A = this chain, B = another copy of it.
Amino acid sequence: MERLPGFRDFYPEPLPHSDVGSADARQFIFDKWRTTARRYGFREYDGPPLEPLDLFTTKSGEEIVGQLYNFTDKGKRAIALRPEMTPTLARMVAAHERNYKKPIKWFAIPQLFRYERQQKGRLREHFQFNADLIGETNPAADAELNALLIDTLRSFGLTESDFVIRLSSRNAWSDFFKQGRGDAAREYEFYQAIDKLERTSPEENEKKLTALGFSLDAVNTFIQSGKPTAELQSILDNLAARGLRDFVKVDYHVIRGLAYYTGTVFEAFDAKGEFRAIAGGGRYDNLVKLISGGKVNLPALGFGMGDVVLLELLKARGLLPKFDANVDVFILVEDENLRAHSLKLVQDLRTAGYAVEYSLTIAKSDKQFKRAQELKATYTAKFESDSYVRIRNLKSREEIVAGANDVANHLG
Protein backbone atom coordinates (compact mmCIF):
# COMPACT_ATOMS: atom_id res chain seq x y z
CA MET A 1 0.00 0.00 0.00
CA GLU A 2 1.39 3.39 -0.98
CA ARG A 3 1.18 6.79 0.63
CA LEU A 4 -0.68 9.55 -1.24
CA PRO A 5 1.21 11.44 -3.96
CA GLY A 6 2.70 14.71 -2.74
CA PHE A 7 3.03 13.54 0.88
CA ARG A 8 6.13 12.58 2.80
CA ASP A 9 6.90 9.78 5.20
CA PHE A 10 9.49 10.77 7.78
CA TYR A 11 11.94 8.00 8.71
CA PRO A 12 14.69 7.87 11.33
CA GLU A 13 18.16 8.25 9.81
CA PRO A 14 20.05 6.75 8.06
CA LEU A 15 17.31 7.01 5.45
CA PRO A 16 16.28 4.02 3.37
CA HIS A 17 15.97 6.13 0.23
CA SER A 18 16.58 9.64 -0.94
CA ASP A 19 12.87 10.06 -1.66
CA VAL A 20 11.67 9.84 1.94
CA GLY A 21 11.73 12.52 4.59
CA SER A 22 14.03 12.51 7.61
CA ALA A 23 12.25 12.69 10.95
CA ASP A 24 15.56 13.62 12.59
CA ALA A 25 16.26 16.51 10.22
CA ARG A 26 12.68 17.71 10.65
CA GLN A 27 12.99 17.74 14.44
CA PHE A 28 16.39 19.46 14.18
CA ILE A 29 14.76 22.25 12.14
CA PHE A 30 11.75 22.52 14.45
CA ASP A 31 14.03 22.78 17.50
CA LYS A 32 16.00 25.67 15.96
CA TRP A 33 12.81 27.47 14.96
CA ARG A 34 11.33 27.08 18.43
CA THR A 35 14.50 28.06 20.29
CA THR A 36 15.11 31.19 18.25
CA ALA A 37 11.48 32.32 18.47
CA ARG A 38 11.56 31.96 22.25
CA ARG A 39 14.73 34.04 22.52
CA TYR A 40 12.82 36.77 20.76
CA GLY A 41 9.96 36.49 23.26
CA PHE A 42 7.58 34.84 20.80
CA ARG A 43 5.06 32.43 22.33
CA GLU A 44 3.80 29.27 20.67
CA TYR A 45 0.21 28.76 19.48
CA ASP A 46 -1.56 26.38 17.13
CA GLY A 47 -4.97 25.95 15.56
CA PRO A 48 -6.79 23.06 13.89
CA PRO A 49 -5.45 21.69 10.59
CA LEU A 50 -9.07 21.74 9.40
CA GLU A 51 -10.97 25.02 9.20
CA PRO A 52 -14.27 26.20 7.72
CA LEU A 53 -13.71 26.90 4.01
CA ASP A 54 -15.12 30.43 4.55
CA LEU A 55 -12.08 31.36 6.61
CA PHE A 56 -9.90 31.07 3.51
CA THR A 57 -12.30 32.41 0.89
CA THR A 58 -13.07 35.48 3.05
CA LYS A 59 -9.39 36.30 3.01
CA SER A 60 -8.33 35.28 -0.46
CA GLY A 61 -11.47 35.13 -2.57
CA GLU A 62 -13.18 32.16 -4.20
CA GLU A 63 -10.29 31.57 -6.60
CA ILE A 64 -8.25 30.01 -3.79
CA VAL A 65 -10.63 27.02 -3.68
CA GLY A 66 -8.93 25.56 -6.76
CA GLN A 67 -5.73 25.20 -4.75
CA LEU A 68 -7.22 23.78 -1.57
CA TYR A 69 -7.78 20.37 -0.08
CA ASN A 70 -11.42 21.13 0.54
CA PHE A 71 -14.44 18.90 1.04
CA THR A 72 -17.84 18.60 2.66
CA ASP A 73 -17.87 16.79 6.00
CA LYS A 74 -20.57 14.43 7.27
CA GLY A 75 -22.27 17.38 8.98
CA LYS A 76 -22.57 19.11 5.54
CA ARG A 77 -19.94 21.69 6.43
CA ALA A 78 -17.67 23.08 3.73
CA ILE A 79 -14.21 22.64 5.21
CA ALA A 80 -10.59 22.72 4.09
CA LEU A 81 -7.17 21.61 5.24
CA ARG A 82 -5.31 24.84 6.06
CA PRO A 83 -3.18 26.14 3.16
CA GLU A 84 -1.64 28.84 5.35
CA MET A 85 -1.69 29.85 9.00
CA THR A 86 -2.47 33.57 8.91
CA PRO A 87 -6.30 33.28 8.70
CA THR A 88 -6.32 30.92 11.70
CA LEU A 89 -4.07 33.31 13.60
CA ALA A 90 -6.31 36.26 12.76
CA ARG A 91 -9.37 34.25 13.87
CA MET A 92 -7.72 33.27 17.17
CA VAL A 93 -6.43 36.76 17.91
CA ALA A 94 -9.78 38.32 17.08
CA ALA A 95 -11.54 35.91 19.46
CA HIS A 96 -9.34 36.55 22.51
CA GLU A 97 -7.11 39.57 21.91
CA ARG A 98 -8.28 41.28 25.11
CA ASN A 99 -6.52 38.61 27.15
CA TYR A 100 -3.10 39.47 25.71
CA LYS A 101 -1.02 42.60 26.09
CA LYS A 102 0.08 44.23 22.85
CA PRO A 103 2.18 43.71 20.93
CA ILE A 104 1.27 40.04 20.65
CA LYS A 105 4.30 38.03 19.53
CA TRP A 106 3.34 34.50 18.55
CA PHE A 107 4.78 31.67 16.51
CA ALA A 108 3.55 28.31 15.22
CA ILE A 109 4.91 25.37 13.24
CA PRO A 110 1.87 24.12 11.31
CA GLN A 111 1.72 21.56 8.53
CA LEU A 112 0.04 23.22 5.54
CA PHE A 113 -1.71 21.68 2.56
CA ARG A 114 -2.29 22.64 -1.07
CA TYR A 115 -3.98 20.58 -3.71
CA GLU A 116 -2.50 21.81 -6.95
CA ARG A 117 -2.17 19.72 -10.06
CA GLN A 118 0.44 17.07 -9.38
CA GLN A 119 3.87 17.90 -10.78
CA LYS A 120 6.87 15.67 -10.51
CA GLY A 121 8.34 15.97 -7.05
CA ARG A 122 5.90 18.73 -6.12
CA LEU A 123 4.69 18.39 -2.56
CA ARG A 124 1.12 18.88 -1.41
CA GLU A 125 2.15 19.49 2.21
CA HIS A 126 4.94 21.21 4.01
CA PHE A 127 5.75 22.52 7.47
CA GLN A 128 6.07 26.23 7.96
CA PHE A 129 7.53 28.34 10.74
CA ASN A 130 5.12 31.25 11.21
CA ALA A 131 6.05 34.24 13.35
CA ASP A 132 3.69 37.18 13.72
CA LEU A 133 3.68 40.44 15.60
CA ILE A 134 0.29 41.98 16.22
CA GLY A 135 -0.78 45.36 17.55
CA GLU A 136 2.09 47.65 16.56
CA THR A 137 2.26 49.99 13.54
CA ASN A 138 5.75 51.33 14.24
CA PRO A 139 8.48 50.14 11.82
CA ALA A 140 10.35 49.00 14.96
CA ALA A 141 8.01 46.00 14.77
CA ASP A 142 9.07 45.30 11.17
CA ALA A 143 12.70 45.48 12.27
CA GLU A 144 12.12 43.11 15.19
CA LEU A 145 10.47 40.58 12.89
CA ASN A 146 13.21 40.86 10.27
CA ALA A 147 15.83 40.41 12.98
CA LEU A 148 14.05 37.20 14.04
CA LEU A 149 14.05 36.02 10.44
CA ILE A 150 17.79 36.70 10.12
CA ASP A 151 18.67 35.04 13.43
CA THR A 152 16.51 32.03 12.63
CA LEU A 153 18.56 31.44 9.48
CA ARG A 154 21.80 32.17 11.33
CA SER A 155 20.88 29.57 13.99
CA PHE A 156 21.45 26.93 11.29
CA GLY A 157 24.95 28.24 10.59
CA LEU A 158 23.94 30.26 7.52
CA THR A 159 25.87 33.53 7.16
CA GLU A 160 25.54 36.77 5.22
CA SER A 161 27.32 35.09 2.33
CA ASP A 162 24.58 32.43 2.25
CA PHE A 163 21.38 34.49 2.28
CA VAL A 164 19.91 37.94 1.88
CA ILE A 165 16.64 39.57 2.89
CA ARG A 166 15.10 41.54 0.04
CA LEU A 167 13.11 44.28 1.72
CA SER A 168 10.41 46.22 -0.09
CA SER A 169 7.23 48.16 0.53
CA ARG A 170 3.73 48.17 -0.83
CA ASN A 171 3.52 51.74 0.40
CA ALA A 172 6.37 52.70 -1.93
CA TRP A 173 4.61 50.99 -4.83
CA SER A 174 1.32 52.56 -3.85
CA ASP A 175 2.94 56.02 -3.98
CA PHE A 176 4.46 55.17 -7.35
CA PHE A 177 1.06 54.01 -8.62
CA LYS A 178 -0.69 57.16 -7.38
CA GLN A 179 1.97 59.49 -8.77
CA GLY A 180 1.55 57.75 -12.12
CA ARG A 181 -2.21 58.36 -11.85
CA GLY A 182 -3.07 54.65 -11.90
CA ASP A 183 -6.70 53.60 -11.71
CA ALA A 184 -7.33 52.79 -8.03
CA ALA A 185 -9.61 49.88 -8.96
CA ARG A 186 -6.71 48.20 -10.74
CA GLU A 187 -4.03 48.72 -8.10
CA TYR A 188 -3.89 45.06 -7.08
CA GLU A 189 -3.67 44.06 -10.75
CA PHE A 190 -0.64 46.35 -10.99
CA TYR A 191 0.94 44.70 -7.91
CA GLN A 192 0.47 41.29 -9.48
CA ALA A 193 2.23 42.49 -12.64
CA ILE A 194 5.18 43.71 -10.51
CA ASP A 195 5.19 40.41 -8.60
CA LYS A 196 5.62 38.49 -11.86
CA LEU A 197 8.08 40.96 -13.45
CA GLU A 198 11.16 38.79 -13.11
CA ARG A 199 9.39 35.67 -14.35
CA THR A 200 7.79 37.32 -17.42
CA SER A 201 9.20 38.45 -20.79
CA PRO A 202 9.89 42.20 -21.30
CA GLU A 203 7.32 42.29 -24.12
CA GLU A 204 4.61 40.80 -21.92
CA ASN A 205 5.56 43.11 -19.03
CA GLU A 206 5.43 46.15 -21.32
CA LYS A 207 2.02 45.10 -22.59
CA LYS A 208 0.54 44.51 -19.15
CA LEU A 209 1.97 47.73 -17.69
CA THR A 210 0.92 49.85 -20.66
CA ALA A 211 -2.65 48.57 -20.25
CA LEU A 212 -2.44 49.88 -16.68
CA GLY A 213 -1.07 53.27 -17.82
CA PHE A 214 2.60 52.66 -16.95
CA SER A 215 5.77 52.07 -18.92
CA LEU A 216 8.17 49.25 -18.20
CA ASP A 217 10.99 51.81 -18.30
CA ALA A 218 9.47 53.87 -15.50
CA VAL A 219 8.93 50.77 -13.41
CA ASN A 220 12.49 49.55 -13.98
CA THR A 221 13.91 52.98 -13.19
CA PHE A 222 11.99 53.01 -9.91
CA ILE A 223 13.24 49.54 -9.02
CA GLN A 224 16.83 50.36 -9.95
CA SER A 225 16.82 53.53 -7.87
CA GLY A 226 16.25 51.29 -4.85
CA LYS A 227 15.79 54.39 -2.71
CA PRO A 228 14.45 53.42 0.71
CA THR A 229 11.31 55.17 1.91
CA ALA A 230 11.47 56.79 5.35
CA GLU A 231 9.75 53.70 6.73
CA LEU A 232 12.28 51.33 5.17
CA GLN A 233 15.17 53.55 6.26
CA SER A 234 13.91 53.35 9.82
CA ILE A 235 13.94 49.54 9.60
CA LEU A 236 17.44 49.54 8.12
CA ASP A 237 18.73 51.85 10.87
CA ASN A 238 17.18 49.64 13.53
CA LEU A 239 18.81 46.55 12.04
CA ALA A 240 22.10 48.42 11.76
CA ALA A 241 21.99 49.14 15.51
CA ARG A 242 21.74 45.37 16.05
CA GLY A 243 24.65 44.67 13.70
CA LEU A 244 22.34 43.03 11.17
CA ARG A 245 22.37 45.63 8.40
CA ASP A 246 24.43 43.53 6.01
CA PHE A 247 21.76 40.85 5.79
CA VAL A 248 19.21 43.17 4.18
CA LYS A 249 18.95 45.03 0.90
CA VAL A 250 16.12 47.15 -0.45
CA ASP A 251 14.75 45.47 -3.57
CA TYR A 252 11.49 46.74 -5.05
CA HIS A 253 11.13 43.64 -7.23
CA VAL A 254 9.57 42.10 -4.13
CA ILE A 255 5.88 42.94 -3.69
CA ARG A 256 4.40 39.50 -2.66
CA GLY A 257 1.49 37.93 -4.52
CA LEU A 258 -1.14 37.82 -1.80
CA ALA A 259 -3.81 40.49 -1.81
CA TYR A 260 -3.76 41.28 1.91
CA TYR A 261 -0.30 42.81 2.36
CA THR A 262 -0.43 46.51 3.22
CA GLY A 263 3.04 47.89 4.07
CA THR A 264 6.53 46.44 4.15
CA VAL A 265 7.04 43.14 2.38
CA PHE A 266 10.18 40.99 2.33
CA GLU A 267 11.59 37.71 1.16
CA ALA A 268 14.69 35.74 2.12
CA PHE A 269 16.73 34.19 -0.68
CA ASP A 270 19.93 32.18 -0.85
CA ALA A 271 22.73 34.46 -1.99
CA LYS A 272 23.53 32.38 -5.05
CA GLY A 273 19.96 32.45 -6.30
CA GLU A 274 19.78 28.66 -6.66
CA PHE A 275 16.59 28.09 -4.74
CA ARG A 276 13.09 29.43 -4.45
CA ALA A 277 12.42 31.91 -1.63
CA ILE A 278 13.40 30.58 1.81
CA ALA A 279 10.87 32.77 3.60
CA GLY A 280 8.49 35.61 2.93
CA GLY A 281 6.23 37.98 4.76
CA GLY A 282 5.01 41.46 5.35
CA ARG A 283 2.40 43.71 6.95
CA TYR A 284 -1.27 42.88 6.80
CA ASP A 285 -2.83 45.67 8.83
CA ASN A 286 -6.41 45.01 7.67
CA LEU A 287 -6.71 41.26 7.95
CA VAL A 288 -7.68 40.88 11.61
CA LYS A 289 -10.50 43.37 11.00
CA LEU A 290 -11.64 41.47 7.91
CA ILE A 291 -11.59 38.05 9.59
CA SER A 292 -13.36 39.33 12.71
CA GLY A 293 -16.12 40.92 10.67
CA GLY A 294 -15.01 44.39 11.78
CA LYS A 295 -15.08 43.62 15.49
CA VAL A 296 -11.34 43.78 16.14
CA ASN A 297 -8.95 46.11 14.36
CA LEU A 298 -5.28 45.42 14.93
CA PRO A 299 -2.24 46.07 12.73
CA ALA A 300 -0.11 43.01 12.15
CA LEU A 301 2.83 41.58 10.29
CA GLY A 302 4.45 38.20 9.98
CA PHE A 303 6.50 35.79 7.95
CA GLY A 304 6.45 32.15 6.96
CA MET A 305 9.47 29.90 6.41
CA GLY A 306 8.89 26.46 4.91
CA ASP A 307 10.87 23.34 5.73
CA VAL A 308 11.44 22.20 2.14
CA VAL A 309 13.61 24.94 0.61
CA LEU A 310 15.42 25.41 3.92
CA LEU A 311 16.32 21.73 4.02
CA GLU A 312 17.60 21.82 0.43
CA LEU A 313 19.73 24.86 1.24
CA LEU A 314 21.16 23.35 4.44
CA LYS A 315 22.04 20.16 2.57
CA ALA A 316 23.69 22.12 -0.26
CA ARG A 317 25.79 24.12 2.23
CA GLY A 318 26.78 21.09 4.32
CA LEU A 319 24.97 22.44 7.37
CA LEU A 320 22.88 19.40 8.26
CA PRO A 321 24.50 17.38 11.05
CA LYS A 322 24.68 13.59 10.85
CA PHE A 323 21.89 12.10 12.89
CA ASP A 324 22.13 8.86 14.83
CA ALA A 325 20.36 7.08 17.68
CA ASN A 326 22.17 9.18 20.32
CA VAL A 327 22.69 6.14 22.52
CA ASP A 328 24.82 6.95 25.57
CA VAL A 329 25.30 3.48 26.97
CA PHE A 330 24.88 0.01 25.48
CA ILE A 331 24.65 -2.61 28.21
CA LEU A 332 26.19 -5.95 27.28
CA VAL A 333 24.54 -9.03 28.80
CA GLU A 334 26.93 -11.94 28.34
CA ASP A 335 25.79 -14.05 31.27
CA GLU A 336 22.03 -14.62 31.55
CA ASN A 337 22.45 -15.03 35.31
CA LEU A 338 23.32 -11.34 35.33
CA ARG A 339 20.36 -10.22 33.20
CA ALA A 340 18.28 -9.11 36.21
CA HIS A 341 21.23 -7.02 37.43
CA SER A 342 21.65 -5.63 33.92
CA LEU A 343 17.97 -4.67 33.68
CA LYS A 344 18.29 -2.84 36.99
CA LEU A 345 21.28 -0.93 35.58
CA VAL A 346 19.36 -0.15 32.37
CA GLN A 347 16.60 1.29 34.53
CA ASP A 348 18.91 3.26 36.84
CA LEU A 349 20.82 4.88 33.97
CA ARG A 350 17.65 5.78 32.06
CA THR A 351 16.23 7.29 35.26
CA ALA A 352 19.45 9.31 35.52
CA GLY A 353 18.75 10.68 32.04
CA TYR A 354 20.96 8.50 29.83
CA ALA A 355 19.76 6.92 26.59
CA VAL A 356 20.38 3.22 27.13
CA GLU A 357 20.15 0.23 24.80
CA TYR A 358 20.75 -3.48 25.30
CA SER A 359 19.89 -6.76 23.64
CA LEU A 360 16.36 -7.76 24.64
CA THR A 361 17.19 -11.45 24.22
CA ILE A 362 20.19 -13.80 24.44
CA ALA A 363 22.77 -12.81 21.82
CA LYS A 364 26.41 -13.66 21.18
CA SER A 365 28.76 -11.21 22.77
CA ASP A 366 30.38 -10.07 19.50
CA LYS A 367 26.94 -9.47 18.01
CA GLN A 368 26.00 -7.28 20.98
CA PHE A 369 29.23 -5.34 20.69
CA LYS A 370 28.71 -4.84 16.97
CA ARG A 371 25.22 -3.51 17.66
CA ALA A 372 26.65 -1.05 20.20
CA GLN A 373 29.04 0.20 17.51
CA GLU A 374 26.31 0.47 14.87
CA LEU A 375 24.27 2.56 17.28
CA LYS A 376 27.34 4.77 17.85
CA ALA A 377 26.95 4.27 21.60
CA THR A 378 29.38 6.35 23.64
CA TYR A 379 29.92 3.61 26.24
CA THR A 380 29.40 -0.09 26.77
CA ALA A 381 28.80 -1.39 30.29
CA LYS A 382 28.96 -5.04 31.34
CA PHE A 383 28.55 -6.76 34.70
CA GLU A 384 31.74 -8.65 35.52
CA SER A 385 30.21 -10.10 38.67
CA ASP A 386 26.97 -9.30 40.42
CA SER A 387 28.50 -6.14 41.89
CA TYR A 388 31.10 -4.79 39.45
CA VAL A 389 30.59 -3.27 36.04
CA ARG A 390 33.20 -2.78 33.32
CA ILE A 391 32.64 0.52 31.50
CA ARG A 392 34.30 1.08 28.14
CA ASN A 393 34.45 4.37 26.27
CA LEU A 394 34.09 3.35 22.62
CA LYS A 395 35.77 6.49 21.37
CA SER A 396 38.79 6.70 23.66
CA ARG A 397 38.81 2.91 24.31
CA GLU A 398 39.45 3.66 27.97
CA GLU A 399 38.08 1.09 30.38
CA ILE A 400 37.26 1.26 34.04
CA VAL A 401 35.62 -1.10 36.52
CA ALA A 402 33.05 0.51 38.83
CA GLY A 403 30.67 -0.61 41.54
CA ALA A 404 27.19 -1.44 40.22
CA ASN A 405 25.65 1.59 41.93
CA ASP A 406 28.43 3.90 40.84
CA VAL A 407 28.23 3.57 37.04
CA ALA A 408 26.60 6.92 36.33
CA ASN A 409 29.49 8.69 38.08
CA HIS A 410 31.89 7.32 35.47
CA LEU A 411 29.92 8.49 32.45
CA GLY A 412 30.63 11.85 30.83
- Chain A residues close to B by CB (< 8 Å): 1-5, 7-12, 14-17, 20-21, 23-24, 26-27, 38-41, 43-52, 54-55, 58, 69, 71-75, 77, 79, 81, 91-92, 95-96, 98-101, 103, 106, 111, 113, 115, 118, 125, 136, 138, 140-141, 144, 147, 151, 238, 241-244, 291-293, 325-327, 339-341, 343-344, 346-347, 350-351, 353-357, 360-361, 371, 374-375
Q: Check A103 against B27 for contact (C-beta < 8 Å).
A: no
Are A125 and B45 interface neighbours, CB within 8 A? no
Q: How many copies does the complex hold?
A: 2
- Could you tell me if B347 and A242 are in contact, using CB atoms closer than 8 angstroms? yes
What chain B residues lie within 8 Å of A26 (beta carbons)?
A: 46
CB-contact partner of A39 in B46, B96, B103, B350, under 8 A: B350
A360 engages B96 (CB within 8 Å): no
The distance in angstroms between the C-alpha atoms of A11 and B100, with both chains bound, is 10
B73 touches A1 (CB 8 A): no
* Residues in B neighbouring A73, C-beta threshold 8 A: 69, 71, 115
Contacts of A357 in B (CB 8 A): 41
**Most B CB atoms within 10 A — which of A77, A92, A141, A371?**
A92
- Whether the Cβ atoms of B72 and A1 lie closer than 8 Å is no
With beta carbons under 8 angstroms apart, the residue of B5, B52, B101 that contacts A2 is B52
Contact between B16 and A99, CB atoms less than 8 A apart:
yes
Q: Nearest 10 A-B pairs (CB), nearest first?
A: A12-B43, A16-B99, A16-B96, A7-B48, A241-B340, A71-B71, A242-B347, A241-B343, A10-B46, A41-B357
Which residues does chain B contribute within 8 Å of A2, judged by CB atoms? 52
Contact A39 B9 (CB under 8 A): no
Can you name 9 A-B residue pairings with CB atoms under 8 Å?
A: A1-B91, A4-B48, A4-B51, A7-B48, A11-B45, A16-B99, A40-B350, A241-B343, A242-B343
Given known A-B contacts A115-B74, A327-B41, A354-B39, A58 and B360 have beta carbons under 8 A apart: no
A410 to chain B, nearest CB (A): 18
The smallest C-beta distance from A370 to any residue of chain B, in angstroms, reads: 10
Among B77, B103, B341, point to the contact of A360 (Cβ < 8 A).
B103
With A52-B2, A72-B71 known as contacts, the answer to whether A27 contacts B44 (CB < 8 A) is yes
Report yes or no: B14 in contact with A99, Cβ–Cβ below 8 A: yes
Within 8 Å by CB of A361, from B4, B23, B91, B138, lies B138
| Least Cβ–Cβ distance between A129 and chain B, in angstroms | 15
Residues in B whose Cβ lies below 8 Å from that of A355:
38-41
Min distance, Cβ A107 to any Cβ of chain B, angstroms: 10
Known A12-B43, A24-B43; further 5 A-B contacts with Cβ < 8 A: A3-B52, A9-B45, A101-B374, A136-B360, A140-B361
Distance in angstroms from A18 CB to nearest chain B CB is 12
CA distance A50 to B10 in the complex (A): 14
Check if B147 sits within 8 Å of A4, measured CB to CB. Answer: no
A144 to B7, CA, bound (A): 32
Q: Given the complex, which residues of B lie within 8 Å of A21, measured CB to CB? A: 46
- Residue contact B101 to A360, C-beta cutoff 8 Å: no
CA A350 to CA B101, docked complex, whole Å: 22
**Shortest Cβ distance from residue A113 to the other chain B in the assembled complex, whole angstroms:** 8
Contact of A9 among B47, B69, B347 (CB under 8 A): B47
Residue of A14, A144, A350, A354 contacting most chain B CB atoms (<10 Å) = A350
Find the B residue at minimum CB distance from A48.
B7
Given the known inter-chain contacts A140-B360, A140-B361, A141-B360, please indicate yes or no for A4 contacting B52, CB distance below 8 A.
yes
